[in-house]
């Protein structure tokens, strides 16, 4: 089974420059190839009797080497697999266009969906490091799966860089039939249908308080001054620390879920949690939710368990997990669910988790 993995890179300036250069080469090769292939198509339209054969990716690369590379010295500073892969992607894009499964390929603009692919020896070492051709060793924020892969794609989103690769794994046979429902929240990180509650990192709250205090202390600093800059840096560092703590907790939770259950049931969007608190909590839960789902998706694949994502309109909080009666409304402040029909009383989050479990058990 082929799995995909994507994670953020932790870069220094030199590496960032090298990655930008590679993006430049990939974009240049793509745009050059696109212009050329468009000319060929135009020519063939006008001259139906003397059509030029539409080039393969290999043809395109041969022409690129002969016609372009010698004039563009910066191509030699980058891996030769980068333009090759860009042209292969272009050829695939044309194929999809000819099959009518996609539109005409578009020219790439700098800074918009920058990415490139490297082919060759990609080595993953134990401590959050990955070695790629030409650029060398890159660091990541999270532990990488210990696998073999022969190519990696690096992409940029604003000022963040990501690496992704595919690898083959033998799917672990899971004869675990256990189903677990998970309700994510703000107060507790997660409530499982088993009654287990994952609190989240303890230190998280402590840092959160420190952060508020720091921001309050900074209120009178002159914007742009050295002291202000220093303070901004410290705030940014604390933000990152908090994010990392949360991420680490998420890793533990997702591993626990995927490894020990046959089926994991979650909600599409954490609606209950999202509305429960003020803006900051919303932002944090929002981010965590996507990270939670990303981790859970690949870990479930890895451990051979099934991930069921329940429609976001499923009334997981409003339904009684005992008799199935649906309430009209449930205030967010009500932390305990009380059924008006059967008189069942249960913790609100646990009730939701049990309902999720049930909806994924079919
Ligand atoms: Zn009931």
Instruction: Kindly give the pairing relationship between strand 263-267 and strand 179-184.
Output: parallel
Check whether 36 has a pLDDT greater than 50. yes
- Mean pLDDT to the nearest integer, 21-41: 96
Instruction: Kindly give the pairing relationship between strand 136-140 and strand 129-132.
Output: antiparallel
pLDDT tier for residue 271 given thresholds of 50, 70 and 90: very low
Structure confidence at residue 222 (pLDDT): 84
Alpha carbons 240 and 235: distance in angstroms, whole number: 9
Q: What is the pLDDT of residues 223-247, one digit of tens each?
A: 888 888 888 888 878 877 777 777 7
**Residue 181 has which token pair?**
């429902």
Going from the Cα of 332 to the center of ligand 1, the distance in angstroms, rounded, reads: 19
Structure confidence at residue 201 (pLDDT): 61
Tell which residue, 140, 142, 141, 116, has the closest CA to residue 130. 140
pLDDT tier for residue 199 given thresholds of 50, 70 and 90: confident
Catalogue the active-site residues: 183, 267, 349
Owner of token pair 């994507």: 6
CA angle 190, 287, 294 (to 5 degrees): 75
Give the three-class secondary structure for 276: helix
16-20, 44-48, 87-91, 274-278: segment of lowest average pLDDT: 274-278
Going from the Cα of 323 to the center of ligand 1, the distance in angstroms, rounded, reads: 4
Going from the Cα of 317 to the center of ligand 1, the distance in angstroms, rounded, reads: 12
Structure-model confidence comparison of residues 307 and 294, the more confident one = 307
- Mean pLDDT to the nearest integer, 333-341: 88
Q: Is 258 left (phi over 0), alpha (psi -120 to 50) or beta?
A: alpha
pLDDT tier for residue 202 given thresholds of 50, 70 and 90: low
Going from the Cα of 347 to the center of ligand 1, the distance in angstroms, rounded, reads: 13
Q: What is the pLDDT of residues 156-174, one digit of tens each?
A: 987 889 999 988 777 666 6
Going from the Cα of 338 to the center of ligand 1, the distance in angstroms, rounded, reads: 8
Instruction: Kindly give the pairing relationship between strand 2-10 and strand 160-168.
Output: antiparallel
């Amino acid at each position: 089974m082929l799995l995909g993995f994507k994670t953020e890179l932790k870069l220094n300036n030199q590496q960032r420059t090298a990655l930008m250069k590679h993006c430049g080469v990939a974009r240049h090769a793509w745009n050059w190839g696109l212009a050329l292939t468009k000319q060929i198509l135009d020519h063939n339209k006008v001259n139906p009797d003397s059509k030029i054969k539409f080039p393969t990716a290999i043809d395109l690369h041969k022409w690129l080497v002969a016609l372009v590379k010698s004039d563009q010295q910066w191509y030699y500073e980058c891996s030769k697999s980068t333009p090759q892969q860009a042209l292969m992607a272009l050829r695939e894009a044309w194929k999809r266009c000819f099959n009518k499964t996609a539109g005409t390929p578009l020219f790439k603009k700098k800074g918009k969906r920058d990415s490139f692919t490297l082919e060759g020896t990609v080595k993953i070492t134990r401590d959050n490091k990955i070695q790629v051709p030409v650029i060398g060793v890159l660091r990541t924020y999270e532990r990488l799966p210990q696998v073999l892969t022969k190519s990696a794609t690096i992409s940029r989103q604003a000022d963040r860089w990501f690496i992704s690769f595919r690898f083959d794994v033998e799917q672990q046979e899971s004869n675990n039939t256990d189903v677990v429902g998970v309700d994510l929240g703000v107060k507790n990180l997660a409530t499982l249908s088993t009654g287990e509650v994952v609190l989240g990192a303890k230190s998280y709250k402590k840092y959160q308080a420190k952060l508020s205090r720091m921001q309050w202390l900074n209120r009178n600093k002159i914007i742009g001054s050295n002291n202000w800059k220093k303070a901004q840096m410290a705030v940014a560092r604390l933000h990152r620390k908090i994010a990392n703590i949360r991420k680490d907790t998420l890793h533990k939770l997702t591993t626990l879920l995927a490894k020990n259950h046959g089926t994991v049931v979650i909600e599409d969007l954490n609606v209950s949690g999202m509305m429960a608190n003020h803006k900051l909590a919303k932002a944090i839960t929002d981010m965590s939710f996507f990270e939670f789902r990303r981790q859970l998706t690949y870990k479930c694949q890895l451990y051979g368990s099934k991930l069921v994502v329940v429609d976001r309109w499923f009334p997981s909080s409003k339904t009684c997990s005992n008799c199935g009666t649906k309430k009209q409304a449930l205030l967010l402040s009500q932390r305990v669910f009380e059924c008006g029909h059967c008189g069942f009383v249960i913790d609100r989050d646990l009730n939701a988790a049990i309902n999720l479990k049930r909806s994924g058990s079919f």
